[in-house]
Structure 1
Amino acid sequence: MMELFHPNKLPTTRHIFFTGKGGVGKTSTACATALALAKAGSRVLIVSTDPASNLEDVFGQALSNLPTAIKDVPNLFASNLDPEEAARNYRESLIGPYRGKLPKAAIDNMEEQLSGACTVEIAAFDEFTNLLANQEVTKQFDQIIFDTAPTGHTLRLLQLPTAWSSFLEDNTTGASCLGPLSGLAAKKELYATTVHALSDSEETTLVLVSRPEPSSLREANRASMELSDIGITNQVLILNGLFKATKTDDTIAKELEKRQQHALEQQPDFLSKLQSYYLPLVPYNLTGLKALKSFFEPIELASVPLNSSHTAKEIASLNTLVSSISQKNNGVIMTMGKGGVGKTTMAVAVAIGLVQEGHKVHLTTTDPAAHLSNIIHDERLLENLSVSRIDPKVEVELYRDEVLSKVAATLDEDSLEYIKEDLRSPCTEEIAVFRAFAKIVDKSKDTFVVIDTAPTGHTLLLLDAAESYHKEVSRSNGDMPENIKKLLPRLRDPEVTDVIIVTLPEATPVFEASRLQDDLRRADIHPKWWIINQSFQAANSEDPILQGRANSEEEWINKVRSNLASKCVIVPWQIDELDNVEKVKILLQ
C-alpha cells in the first residue's frame, strides 16, 4: 500500500528536481517540500525554471533571478529564473550579427527556428547551470530544489559531440529545433559537469509528480524511462490529488474515486517499480504559506468555506458552440490544448453535434481510444460521419525515414546522430502529424473537417517560413507538400476555420492555454472559442472536497471568460466515461 508523502521520506540529497506535465501540482508540491525542509532546519533554496511557473503567486511575493528570502519563513529562499527572457537573449546573440546582411525572410526563418519549446528548455538549462556554477551563491544552502527538470531529449542532445560543432551553423539539412548551440560552446565543460551531477544518485533525487489519471501517468512513465536511460535513476513518484469520497451517496465523488483507482491499477510497469507516495486531493488552492504548511497535514473539511455563487452557472453549454459553427455549411475546426484537458473528447462531441445538425463531418484524430470505433459502427451516424485515425508513431517514423534518406549519404556519423536525436523533438511530431492532417483536409469538400490536436503557432510559422524562403525548415528538407501550402491560408481565414482551445479550470492549464493562444496569434490565427472542460462547479457535487474544488475554480473560470476568450462554453465533470456515442451526446443537451 502506498504511503502518504512527506518530505522527510525523500533521500537526503543536496539537489532535488521536480518534474511532471503541466497541471499535476508540481510547483505546489515542490514549494511545500521546500517549506517543510526549511522548517526542519535545512537552509533551502527553491528555483523555478518553468515558463508556466506561479512561484510568486504561491509564496505571495515578488521574486527575481537571485535568491530572495521568503517572508516569515526562516531558512527558505526562492529564485524565479525566466527561461523565455533567456531564450530571447540567446536568439538575439545568434541572429544579431546577421541583421542587415541577410534578407528579411532569412532572418524571420532563423528567428522562428529558435522560437520553439526546445530553445526555451535549453535556455532554462543554461540558467540553472549558471546558478549551480556560482559557488558564492550555492554554498550558503544545504539543499537546492528545482521546479522543472530538463527532459531526456535535451540532455541527450547536450551529450552529443555534434551539438557543439560548426556543423549546426553550416548544415544544409535544416537547422535544429534547438537552434545552433555554438553560442553556448564556451560552456560545454560546465554543461557536462551539470549533467554528471544530475546522474549522481548521491547528489540528486528526481521527483516525478503525476495525477492518478491515464494521460498523466503515461507522461510520467515516458519521462522516467528517458531520464533513466541517461543515468538519472534515483527517482521517486508522487501521485498528487488522490481522492477519497467523504459522501458515499454522492455519485460524482464515488465515480471519481473509482476512476482514479482504475488508472492506478493500469499504470505502466516502469512506474510501478519506483518508490511511490501519494498526496490527497485538497479542497483549496495551494497558494500562500498557510495552504502550503497544511499540505502534508490531514484535511480539515470544516475549515473549507463554501460559496454558493458560481460563475459556471452563467456560462453557456457546449451546444451553443456547435449551434454557432453549424450556421456555416463547411469549414475546418481545430481543437487544441495541452495533454490531459480532454481535447479529443471535445473534438468528438463537436463532430457528433454537427452531424445532429444535418452536416457532413470528417473527424480526424490522433487518439486510438475505443470510443471512436463505436462512432464508426453506429449505423445512424455512418451516413454523415467519417472518421480517420492518424498514428503519430507511424507518421513520425515515415517522416524521419524520408529526411534521413536524403541526408545520410552527406553526413558523418556524429552529424547523423545529432539529426536522429533532433528528429525526436516535439516539433518533429507536430510537423509529421500535420502533414497527414493536410492530406485529409485537401480531399474533403462540402463538409466540416474536425481536427483533433492541431499544430502550434510555432510549427505553422516554421512551415510558412519554409514556403517563403525556400529553405529547409525543421528537417523538412525544403519539400513542403502542396496540400500544406494550401492549408496554411485556410487556417488563417476566420470564415473558413474555427479554432477551439480546450482547458481545465485550474491555474496551469489556463496559463498554458493562454500561451498557446498567444503563439497562434503570432501565426495570425485567432481562436474563436474556449471550452472550460471537467468543471466541478458545473457538476454540482455535494462532496465537501469537491465543493472546495468547485470554489477554487472560480478564479480561473472568471479569467477565461473575462480576459482570455472571445467566446466560451463550459462542460461539467462527467459521471460516465465518455466511451460511446450516446454518452458523448449528453454533453450536447
Structure 2
Amino acid sequence: MDAQFNPNDIKTKFLFLTGKGGVGKTSTACATAVALADQDEKVLLISTDPASNLQDVFHMDLSSTPTVIPDVENLFVSNIDPEASAKAYREKMVGPYRNKLPEAVVTTMEEQLSGACTVEIAAFDEFTSFLTKSEIVDQYDHIIFDTAPTGHTLRLLQLPTAWNGFLEESTHGASCLGPLSGLADKKDLYANAVSALSDGTRTTLVLVSRPDSSSLTEADRASRELKELDINNQILIVNGLLEDHNEKDEVASTFYARQREALEEMPENLNQMKVYSLPYVPYSLTGIDNLRHLFTSYKEKIMDATIERQEINLPGLKTVVDDFSMNGTKLIFTMGKGGVGKTTIASAIAVGLVEKGHRVHLTTTDPAAHLEYQFQSEQQNERLTISSIDPKHEVEKYKAKVLEESIKDLDEESLAYLKEDLESPCTEEIAIFQAFAEVVAKSENEVVVIDTAPTGHTLLLLDASEAYSKEIARSTGKVPESAKKLLPQIRNLKETAVVIVTLAEATPVLEASRLQDDLRRANIDPKWWVINQSLYATHTSDPILKGKALAEQEWIQKAHDTFGENTALIPWFSEEKIGYNKLKDFMVENK
C-alpha cells in the first residue's frame, strides 16, 4: 500500500469516484473536495448517486444548481436528483402516446422506463455538461463526481460507447431505455464525454473499497471493466483501515486481523495500481470540521463525549425464524445490496427453519454467493436441499425461447426491434424470475428460501407485460404459467415474506428504504428488516470500534422507527460463520 491518501496528489481536472454502496464513497468525495478547496483550488462536487446524502454531510439543502458551501471558500456542490431526472425523461418519452394508444400499452411503456437503467441514463444526460461544456468546465480547477454504486456506474459509463454505434445503425429505438431516437441529437455530446473519461491527463478514476474481500473483489471487477472502456488512469483507496486496536478486545483483534488478511489476498490487478488508505474513524464524517480532520495527521478525541449509549432492544434472527415457522410461511425472499451479508442471512434462515423440523430448499442467483463455500462439504441435515441458478445460462435460454416463439410471426423490422429489446438489463431479471418460478413450482411440502430476489420493477414489468401481450406481441414474450402463479403468491402475505438485509450505516439504510419503496409499488410489503454485522450489538470495548458502535445508533433507530415494520439486529461476529453447524449460532437470541 503506497500511503495514506492525500488529495494534493491529484493532478487531473476530473475525479470520478466509484465503489459499492456503503464503502464511504460520498464521505471520501466530500473530504477530498474540502481539502482541495482549502488549497485555494476552485472545486465543483457533483453527486449522481440515487442514495446520495450530500445534504446531510454539509448540513444544508442542495439542488442540481451548484451551491457555494459556507466556510469553505471555492467549494461548490451540485446534487443531481436522478429520480427527478428520470421522471422528466419518462414523461418526455411516454407523454405523446397518452390517449393515443391503449391504456395497457402506455402502462407497460411507463414501467419499462421505471428501471435502474432509465435513472442512470437520465443522470448521465445531466452530468455530461459538466464534462464537456467549456463554459462550465473552465470555471473550476477540479470537478469531482460522486457517482452511483459500482453496478450502476459501469452501465452508466458504457452507455455512450454503445450509443455511438447504436444510433448509427438503429432506427427502432428499442430497449428499456425507451425510444432512443430522441437522444440522437446528443450523440456528439456523449462521444465527447467518453473522450474526457478515457483521457488520463484529464480524468482520474478513483476506486473506493473497504478492506474486505467482497469490496476488493467488486473493485477489481470494476477496474477491469473500466479498462475495457480505455479508462486506465485508476487509483484505489482502501477506506476504513483500522490502524490501532485494543489487543485485549476480541472483536477488535479479529476485526484488525480480517482486514489485514483481505489486503494480503487483494487481487493482483489492484496491486498493480497506486493503492492508498484512509483510516477507520469512530466519528460521523459529516460537517466541515470532521471532513477536514480525515486527512490530517494529528489525533483527535476518539469518541464524541456527547453521544451516550442508548438501550435499543431489538430481537435477533431467531425471532425472525420463529415468526416464519409459527405462521407457516412457504416462500421467503432475502433482498439487499451487495456486501450486506444477504446470502449468509438467507442461509441462516434456512438452517434455522430446518432445525425447527421444516423441509427447506435454499436457492440463489447471485454469482458471487458461493453457497458451496457457505456450507462447505460437511454433512448437512437431510431436510435441507440447495441449488443455484446461473444468470448467464438463464438469460441465454430465455432469449432463445422468446426468439423461437416469435420469429415466425414477425417481419424483419419487428424482429430487429425484438432483438434490441432483449439486450436490455430488464431481460436478466425477468429470465431469473422465471427460473425462480420454476423452482418454486416444483417445490411441494417445503419452505423455499430465495437469495437475490427480483425487484418491484421487474414484478410490475411482468404484470404490465401480461396485459400488453393481449394487445400486441412484445419482448418479454409469453409469460409462463409458473410465473403467472408466482406473481400473486408473492403478494400473498400469508404465504410469502420478504426480508430486507442492511447495515447500520447511512447509505445501506437509505438504499434499503428505496428498495422497499420499489417493492411497495408492486403491492409487496417487506415483513422484516434485518440489520446485519452491528458493532453496537457486540458491546466492544475498543475505543475506536466503540465510537463507531455509538454512531450506528442513529441508523438502527431510523431503520426500526421509520422504515421497518419489524426489525431484527445481528451482531458483528468475531468468527466467520461457515458450515451448517456454525450457521446455527445465528439462532442465539440477543442479550
Q: With the length of structure 2 as denominator, give the TM-score of the two structures.
A: 0.92
Equivalent residues in 2 for 1:278-293, closer than 5 Å: 278-293=277-292
8 Å contact from structure 1 (residues 318, 571) kept in 2: yes
1:38–1:74 CA contact under 8 A, matched in 2 = yes
CA distance in 2, matches of 1:421, 1:282: 46
Report how far residue 307 of structure 1 moved: 7.4
Contact 2:402-2:477 within 8 A present in 1 as well: no
Would the aligned equivalents of 1:370 and 1:579 in 2 still touch at CA under 8 Å? no
| Change in CA separation of 1:415 and 1:227 when aligned onto 2, cut-off 3 Å | farther
Aligned to 1:225, the other structure's residue is in SS state helix
Q: What's the CA shift string for 1:411-433, capped at 9, x where partnerless?
A: 79x9699849935x3x3332232
**3-state DSSP class of the match of 2:350?**
helix
1:422 equivalent in alignment to 2:423: yes
The percent of aligned pairs where both chains have the same amino acid is: 52
Read off the aligned partner of 1:270 and give its amino acid letter.
N
After superposition, give the CA deviation of every residue in 1:346-384 in whole Å (9 maximum; x if it has no partner). 11111111112221111112322434444x7435x11x2
State the distance in 2 between where 1:235 and 1:551 align. Answer: 35
- SS of equivalent residue, structure 1 residue 278: strand
Partner SS for 2:539: coil
Match of 1:52 in 2: 51
Q: Are 2:198 and 1:164 aligned?
A: no
Matched residue, 2:4: 4
- TM-score normalised to the size of structure 1? 0.92
Provide the rounded CA distance (Å) in 2 between the counterparts of 1:274 and 1:533.
32
Q: 1:221 to 1:180 in 2, by over 3 A?
A: farther
- The aligned runs of 1:23-34 (5 Å cut-off) are 23-34=22-33
The residue number in structure 1 matching 2:379 is 378
Q: Distance in 1 between matches of 2:215 and 2:103?
A: 42
Q: Call closer, same or farther: CA 1:231–1:162 in 2, change over 3 Å.
A: closer
Deviations 1:249-307 (CA, angstroms, capped at 9, x unpaired): 11111111121222222222322222111111110111100110001124736342257
* Corresponding residue for residue 112 of structure 1: 111
Q: How does 1:4-403 map to 2 (within 5 A)?
A: 4-10=4-10, 12-148=11-147, 151-160=153-162, 161=164, 163-164=166-167, 167=170, 169=172, 175-298=174-297, 300=299, 302-305=301-304, 309-311=308-310, 313-366=312-365, 367-374=369-376, 377-379=378-380, 381-382=381-382, 384-402=383-401
| Counterpart-to-counterpart distance in 2, 1:281 and 1:29 | 12
What is the CA–CA distance in structure 2 between the aligned matches of 1:79 and 1:386, rounded to whole Å? Answer: 50
SS in 2 for 1:314: coil
Asked if the contact 1:311/1:557 (under 8 Å) is kept, the reply is no
- Output the CA distance in 1 between the equivalents of 2:555 and 2:363: 30
Seen in structure 2, the aligned counterparts of structure 1 residues 540 and 245 have a Cα distance that, compared at 3 Å, is farther
Which stretch of structure 1 is more off in the superposition, 35-44 or 501-510?
35-44
The amino acid that maps onto 1:508 is: T
Matched residue type, 1:164: L
CA distance in structure 2 between the partners assigned to 1:404 and 1:227 by the alignment: 31
SS at 1:575's partner residue?
coil
Is the 1:462–1:473 Cα contact (8 Å) retained in structure 2?
Answer: no
* Contact in 2 for aligned 1:113/1:474 (Cα 8 Å): no
State the Cα distance separating 1:325 from its structure 2 match. 1.1
Secondary structure in 2 matching 1:429:
helix
Q: Which whole-Å CA distance do the structure 2 matches of 1:398 and 1:151 have between them?
A: 27
Q: Closer, same or farther in 2 for the Cα pair 1:472/1:403, shift >3 Å?
A: farther
State the distance in 2 between where 1:572 and 1:189 align: 52
* TM-aligned CA deviation for residue 345 of structure 1: 0.7
Q: 1:286 to 1:101 in 2, by over 3 A?
A: same
Which amino acid is the alignment partner of residue 6 of structure 2?
H
Distance 2:48 2:473 in 1: 25
Distance in 1 (alpha carbons) for counterparts of 2:27 and 2:216? 18
Q: Deviations over 1:221-258 (max 9, x none)?
A: 22211111111111111111112342011111111112
Contact residue 113 and residue 473 of structure 1 kept, 8 A: no
**8 Å contact from structure 1 (residues 329, 359) kept in 2:** no
Q: Does structure 1 residue 457 correspond to structure 2 residue 460?
A: no
Aligned CA-pair RMSD = 2.6
Q: How far apart in 2 are the matches of 1:483 and 1:453?
A: 19
- Partner residue, 1:443: 442
Secondary structure of the structure 2 residue equivalent to 1:525:
coil
Relative to structure 1, the CA distance from residue 474 to residue 124 in structure 2 (aligned partners, 3 Å threshold; closer, same or farther) is farther
Change (3 A) 1:471 1:210: farther
> Secondary structure of the residue that 2:449 maps to in structure 1?
strand
- The AA in structure 1 aligned to 2:370 is P
Deviation at 1:82, TM superposition (A): 1.1
Contact 1:16 1:206 in 2 (8 A): yes
Give the letter for the 1:334 counterpart: F
Tell me how far apart the structure 2 counterparts of residues 582 and 168 of structure 1 sit (CA, whole Å).
58
* Contact persistence 2:360–2:447 (CA under 8 A): yes
Answer whether contact 1:499 1:527 (CA < 8 A) is retained: yes
Q: Secondary structure at the match of 1:454?
A: coil
Amino acid at match of 1:222: R
State the AA in 2 paired with 1:238.
Answer: I
User: 3-state SS of the aligned residue for 2:301?
Assistant: helix
The CA distance in 2 between the partners of 1:580 and 1:343, in whole Å, is 16
**Count of aligned positions:** 578
Q: Is the 8 A contact 1:306 1:547 kept in 2?
A: no
One-letter amino acid of the counterpart of residue 335, structure 2: M
Q: Distance in 1 between the 2:455 and 2:470 partners?
A: 20
Q: How far has the Cα of 1:158 moved from its partner?
A: 2.5
- Aligned in 2, Cα 1:312/1:481: closer, same or farther, shift over 3 Å? farther
